[in-house]
Amino acid sequence: MDIDERPHKKRRFFAEDAVQTEPSLKSEPSLPDEIDALPESATPASGLDSTANKENVFDAETFTSIIGAEVPEDAIQSLQRAHGNNLEQAINAYFDGSWKAKVASPRKKQSPPVDKKQQRLDLKAGDGEESATSKSAGPAQKDRPNLQAMPEMRYIGALGVAGWTTRSGTGILKPGDVVKIQRERQKAPQSSSKAGRGRLPMRKTQDVIVRFTSQDGTELGRLEKESALWIGALIDQNVAQFEGHCIYAPDRIRTNETIYLQLRCFLLRPIFEAGNLMKPQDNNRQTGFFEAKETTEERDLRLRQIGLVKLFQEINLQPSTLNELTAKHKREGILQAAEVAEQLDQQDEKKRKSSQDQTNEGSSPPSEENEEGEELEQDQLDSLYKKAQSFDFNTPEAQPASTFVMDLRKYQKQALHWMLNKETREKDDHKQQSMHPLWEEYTWPNKDAEDHDLPNVEGQDCFYVNPYSGELSLEFPVQEQTCLGGILADEMGLGKTIEMLSLIHSHRSPEHEGVLNDTGMEADAVSSLARQPLSSGKVKQAPATTLVVAPMSLLAQWASEAEKASKSGTLKVLIYYGNEKGVNLQTICCGSNISSAPNVIITSYGVVLSEFNSVTGALGGNRASSGGLFGVEYWRIILDEAHMIKNRQSKTAKACYELAATHRWVLTGTPIVNRLEDLFSLVRFLRVEPWNNFSFWKTFITTPFEKGDFVRALDVVQTVLEPLVMRRTKDMKTPDGEALVPLPPKSINVEKIKLSEPEQDVYQHIFLRAKRTFNANVEAGTVMKSYTTIFAQILRLRQSCCHPILTRNKNIVAEEEDAAAAADIVAGLADDMDLGALIERFEADEGEQDASKYGAHVLKQIQDESEMECPICSEEPMEEQAVTGCWHSACKKCLLDYIEHQTSKGELPRCFNCREPISARDVFEVIKHDDDDEPDESDVLNAAIGDDDEDDLYSSTQTRTPKPKTRISLRRVNQLSSAKINTLLTQLKRLRKSEPALKSVVFSQFTSFLDLLAPALTGAGISWLRFDGSMSQKERAKVLNDFANRSKFTILLLSLRAGGVGLNLTCAKRVFMMDPWWSFAVEAQAIDRVHRMGQTEEVTVTRFIVEGSIEEKMLKVQERKKFLASSLGMMSDEEKKMQRLEDIKELLS
């Protein structure tokens, strides 16, 4: 009757109830006593019919009459409460047992229905018995049999499913028949002779078929795909076994007939035992040194996860206990997440695999590896931080230990208090054993599908499931130690390092204190205690040692800060890097050496990674034998600039997870750089349960976020962050309106640059071509596809604003573009004769000048004039004295201005003095060396750094005078120069005059532009230093040191990227930004290297922007992005693309 109408929820076919009762009763020979036991209920079938028509009115009488049993009063009431007037629901609930969960104490079954025989076997689930005993065990058996140990498999519940037949015939299957539920794969060898099996191997890829067969193994049909999916997974992974009971089948069966089956499910014992061994599945907590197959494992895990959750849902088994935290999130979340993840996974599985291969090569730098997760928009990030950084200014303060000699500001003392609290928290709330937050407790059913008692297993009323890892266990999962550390995310410049150092001084391990307090015999006692196992294979305690992992460039800074902050002799610092690595950390930090152990070991991420590689590689996972970083368990680990490990797939991150310590801290100004996953990696390093489980994380954060449920995802992130993070920003104000850190003011000026004519020509050429490309693509509708190409052209445009030569340099292009795009450009450039010609013209303007032309007397005269007033602007002495070809001096700018003025009027330029015809080419700048007596240090350094590989274009441009005594040389103006370089030099020279000891930082995002700036500075006699990503640690330290200690006017050339993090450049007072970046935030970060705590004077920032160029438009885009960020508009992908398109349009307008 109901065949064509499939039940919506297979477990609950109320509508079929009345109809199916008859056949099912008739055809249930194995349970005759149940039929006999019906008398007490008034004719059940008719009763059902009548109530079904009775408009859903709930009255106890009707209810009991339908149930056919006397139902306890409270049960009826609770059902009534739960389902109101919906009688159907109530009956369903009663039968499937779910109502019990809603009644007060679900753990212990209270007064079972008086007469179990009344129950219909077909519809209920939740009660059951082990299959082996189900038929033999008599219903009268009141006392449940006891088993000593977990049986091979244990009944867990039953559910209804639909299947379809693959055979036809009469009497093949009748209600009540028991069928086997089998996976094709397992079945195949057994029944290879059976008909229809021939095509099996081909199907293997599909792998979702679950069959039901008769007892002799003949295939009868298959389960509907929907349920087969997860049932199959459970069978495949040996989690469960199913036994099918036919509920309904027509007498005459045709192929593709729908059959209803009741599946009784049994969990298999090995799954509980294996639980411990299968830890790698939960790869998050125990990373293990072997993670090559993560992808397959993750997939299996997901299938299992879906399987278990679906199973419990279908048999309506509710957890009897679960963690508060997890309870907040719905179970459906898991399913949803897992399913979404599956879809995603199918899409990018290939991608992932290849990226993982790379990852496992081990040599690739971590930051460049693929990352997963969507990028956060700035506005999302802002709102997130806003939530995370609600800082209470009344939080208590703590005084640092007396060995700490620096003065802490109030907010820093508050940080110390907070950190101390975090580190000592275990004592407060770690006493009672609580369940691990990821696990759920379930009670074994004590009735089987037919409501027979099931044997009781001693001491095993419950089992535990971790729906996130798919693990099952019979043991109580104890909550592991909570994280005794956190994330210190104060904004850059607030003194995270100092705060951390105060903690190092103020909270020492008991062992360490012991050694400190009683130097002498006590120390011996402690050491003898600690000396126990000397087997080198073991990780040893280093209770007096804090390990600091920082980017290489900051090692020296850490060491010096640590020194400065400590009373002398109270803190031993070891930089574990390069040559220093010779020591055996186990020897010097542990056992009897605690008293002399280094208190702070400073090392770099690179060292951690390389030692990790050798431990996992050559040493086969033996952490201790190398005597390196991994052989010791520290008192505390601090990861500085911890966004270095933001990619959880990176080897560096994995290496850091493996470092052992009691207290774990991460320092970062940006806990989330651009993806929510960035935070995960930190949380995982900190071992914060349950969030360090990626599956859990994904379920509640990544997936909702990717599905666009931003609010929910960010809410969850907030709950993660709140207890973990302390974050203050520089612009926070105390309640009295004072800034946290009173910094001297900073002013930002935009210096508009006008390109010279040849520069303008090059720019215009590139501009027009970029525009053509863009427009062509707009017309063809391929903008998004050719995004890279367009972007590359825009890049060149930006470079040409700095110096036209840059656009010819392939290296620069490669800096920002991937190789493919770069190749395109090079190819495009090769046949681009126009541009080549233009640049040649530009270069021709920088020709050589014959040195012999200068006579000594001329030079003498020029030198005499140098202190005189400029005849044009009356500046005295002249600014950047320059001479014409006829040796008349004036300021360089005046001279060039006048020449331009004349040219623009269409006149032949003539000397202002003698009216000789002159040209801009014949203007020479006078370089004086009188303020630079020693051999130029920057030259020396330049050579040391190996930076002298520039083409001849830039060298040998300087023509020294024959008489070195005069120390004057002339250099052709416009040489190797661009408008930007000229302006910079002019400004610097002016600065040098007014503040001869001033230090300035010059940022550019193009290192090759820095390559051009360097010789220009040298030419102008300005001493400079350079710091970029290609330098070794030693060189970096030397440069920073030099820069800080020089007493004369000095420039530090910095690449925007290398200078982006951590550096402290407060000794400089001026910042020059040579080119704009897409978002001002990046520039601001660079500026904050100078304008940060410790800065005592006003900082002036000059941003060079070429007038009327793409740079000006970039400023507009920056402006708009700022605006967007504040408007909190969460944009969709489509909108973002449109936005980008708009950006480009604007840039090329």
Contacts of 195 (CB under 8 A, 6+ apart): none
The one among 823, 873, 1081, 1115 contacting other proteins by CB under 8 A: 873
Between 900 and 939, name the residue whose CB sits nearer to other proteins.
Answer: 900
Nearest-approach distance from CB 577 to other proteins, in angstroms: 55
Within 10 angstroms of residue 346's Cβ, the number of other Cβ atoms is: 10
Q: What is the largest CA-CA distance in the chain?
A: 134
Which window, 37-45, 684-692, 897-905, 1086-1094, contacts other proteins (CB under 8 A)? 897-905
CB of 644 to other proteins, least distance (A): 50
Minimum distance from CB of 993 to other proteins (Å)? 15
The reply to whether 719 sits near other proteins by the rule CB under 8 A is no
Residue 535 half-sphere exposure toward CB, CA atoms < 13 A: 5
CB of 580 to other proteins, least distance (A): 58
Query: Tokens in use for 758?
Result: 């040849």
Asked if 81 touches other proteins (CB under 8 A), the answer is no
Q: Is 1009 in the site for other proteins (CB under 8 A)?
A: no
Q: Which of 398, 566, 396 is nearest to 497 (CA)?
A: 566
Question: Which residue is associated with the tokens 């349920």?
Answer: 227
What is the rounded CA–CA span in Å between residue 386 and residue 379? 10
3 state DSSP class of 113: coil
Distances (CA, A) of 259 to 25, 162, 175, 967: 17, 6, 9, 103
In angstroms, give the least distance from the CB of 748 to other proteins: 22
Shortest Cβ distance from residue 978 to other proteins (Å)? 24
Closest residue by Cα to residue 749 from 1120, 1111, 999, 1104: 1104
Among 410, 901, 993, 1145, binds other proteins (CB under 8 A): 901
- Look at residue 849 and give its three-state secondary structure: coil
Report if residue 15 touches other proteins, rule: CB under 8 A. Answer: no
Q: What residues from 406 to 445 belong to the interface with other proteins (CB under 8 A)?
A: none
Nearer to other proteins among residue 375 and residue 916 (C-beta): 916
Q: Which is nearer to other proteins, 194 or 910 (CB)?
A: 910
- # residues contacting other proteins (CB under 8 A): 14
Alpha-carbon distance of 497 to 488, in angstroms, equals: 10
Question: Residue holding tokens 């897992």?
Answer: 338
1034 binds other proteins (CB under 8 A): no
Question: Residue 672 and residue 381: Cα distance in Å, rounded?
Answer: 8
Token pair 């299938």: residue: 303
Cβ of 785: how many Cβ atoms within 10 Å? 11
In Å, how far are 14, 41, 42, 448, 500 from 48, measured between CA atoms?
10, 11, 10, 24, 73
Interacting stretch for other proteins, rule CB under 8 A, among 25-33, 869-877, 941-949, 1070-1078? 869-877
Q: Please report whether residue 871 would count as binding other proteins according to CB under 8 A.
A: yes
Q: Does residue number 321 form part of the binding site for other proteins (CB under 8 A)? A: no
Q: How far apart are CA 1094 and CA 494, in angstroms?
A: 10
Contact between 755 and 1109 under an 8 Å Cβ cutoff? The reply is: yes
The piece of 369-377, 610-618, 710-718, 891-899 that touches other proteins (CB under 8 A) is 891-899
SS3 call for 162: strand
Q: Which stretch binds other proteins (CB under 8 A): 28-36, 257-265, 906-914, 1056-1064?
A: 906-914
Q: 257-274: buried (b, 16+ CB within 10 Å) or exposed (e) per residue?
A: bbbbbbbbbbbbeebbeb
916 binds other proteins (CB under 8 A): no
Applying CB under 8 A, the span of 97-105, 667-675, 849-857, 867-875 interacting with other proteins comes to 867-875
3-state secondary structure of 259: strand
Contacts of 696 (CB under 8 A, 6+ apart): 438, 468, 690
Q: How far is the CB of 874 from other proteins (least distance, A)?
A: 4
- In three-state secondary structure terms, 155 is strand
Q: Find the shortest distance in angstroms from Cβ 862 to other proteins.
A: 16
Min CB(866)–other proteins separation in Å: 17
Q: Is there a contact between 223 and 165 (Cβ–Cβ < 8 Å)? A: no
Which of 106-114, 385-393, 732-740, 894-902 is the region at the interface with other proteins (rule: CB under 8 A)? 894-902
Using the contact rule CB under 8 A, the part of the chain among 367-375, 416-424, 535-543, 911-919 near other proteins is 911-919
**Shortest distance (Å) from residue 1100 CB to other proteins:** 20
Sign of the four-CA dihedral 1022, 1028, 1032, 1034: positive
Separation CA 529–CA 666 (nearest Å): 31
Q: How far is the CB of 873 from other proteins (least distance, A)?
A: 5
Is 1049:1022 a contact under the CB 8 Å cutoff?
A: yes
Q: Which of 988, 1114, 1137 is nearest to 1050 (CA)?
A: 988
Site for other proteins in 102-141 (CB under 8 A): none
CA neighbours within 13 Å on the CB side: how many for 615?
Answer: 29
One residue of 501, 686, 894, 1002 binding other proteins per CB under 8 A: 894
For other proteins, which is the closer residue by CB, 425 or 910? 910
Residues 206-225: x where in contact with other proteins by CB under 8 A, - otherwise, as a string: --------------------
Number of helices (H), then strands (E), belonging to the chain: the values are 42, 32
* Among the listed residues 242, 444, 898, 1104, the single contact to other proteins using CB under 8 A: 898
Taking the complex as a whole, the smallest distance from the CB of residue 727 to other proteins amounts, in Å, to: 46
Helix (H, G, I), strand (E, B) or coil at 1022: coil
- Examine residue 857 and tell whether it contacts other proteins (CB under 8 A): no
* DSSP conformation letters of 268-279: EHHHHHHHHHTG
Stretch that binds other proteins, among 198-206, 516-524, 674-682, 908-916 (CB under 8 A): 908-916
Closest approach of other proteins to the CB of residue 910, in Å: 8
Choose which of 872, 886, 1082, 1141 interacts with other proteins (CB under 8 A). 872
What are the distances in angstroms from CA 342 to CA 776, 784, 1146?
Answer: 39, 27, 39
Identify the residue among 85, 276, 424, 874 touching other proteins (CB under 8 A).
874
Q: What amino acid occupies position 480?
A: E
Q: Least distance (Å) from other proteins to the CB of residue 971?
A: 23
End-to-end, the C-alpha distance of the chain in Å comes to: 71
Q: Which of 8, 199, 857, 915 forms a contact with other proteins (CB under 8 A)?
A: 915
Q: How far is the CB of 905 from other proteins (least distance, A)?
A: 9
- Where does this chain touch other proteins (CB under 8 A) — which range of 158-166, 340-348, 474-482, 909-917? 909-917
Q: Which stretch binds other proteins (CB under 8 A): 177-185, 298-306, 813-821, 895-903?
A: 895-903
Q: Which residues contact 478 (CB under 8 A, 6 or more apart)?
A: 433, 434, 435, 436
Q: At closest approach, how far in Å is the CB of 994 from other proteins?
A: 15
CB atoms within 10 A of CB 432: 6
Tell whether residue 994 is a contact of other proteins (CB under 8 A): no
> For other proteins, which residue of 845, 897, 916, 1146 counts as binding (CB under 8 A)?
897
What's the min distance (Å) between Cβ of 859 and other proteins?
21
CB closer to other proteins out of 50 and 913: 913
Stretch of residues binding other proteins (CB under 8 A), selected from 30-38, 200-208, 738-746, 870-878:
870-878
What is the contact surface with other proteins in residues (CB under 8 A)? Answer: 869, 871-875, 894, 897-898, 901, 910, 912-913, 915
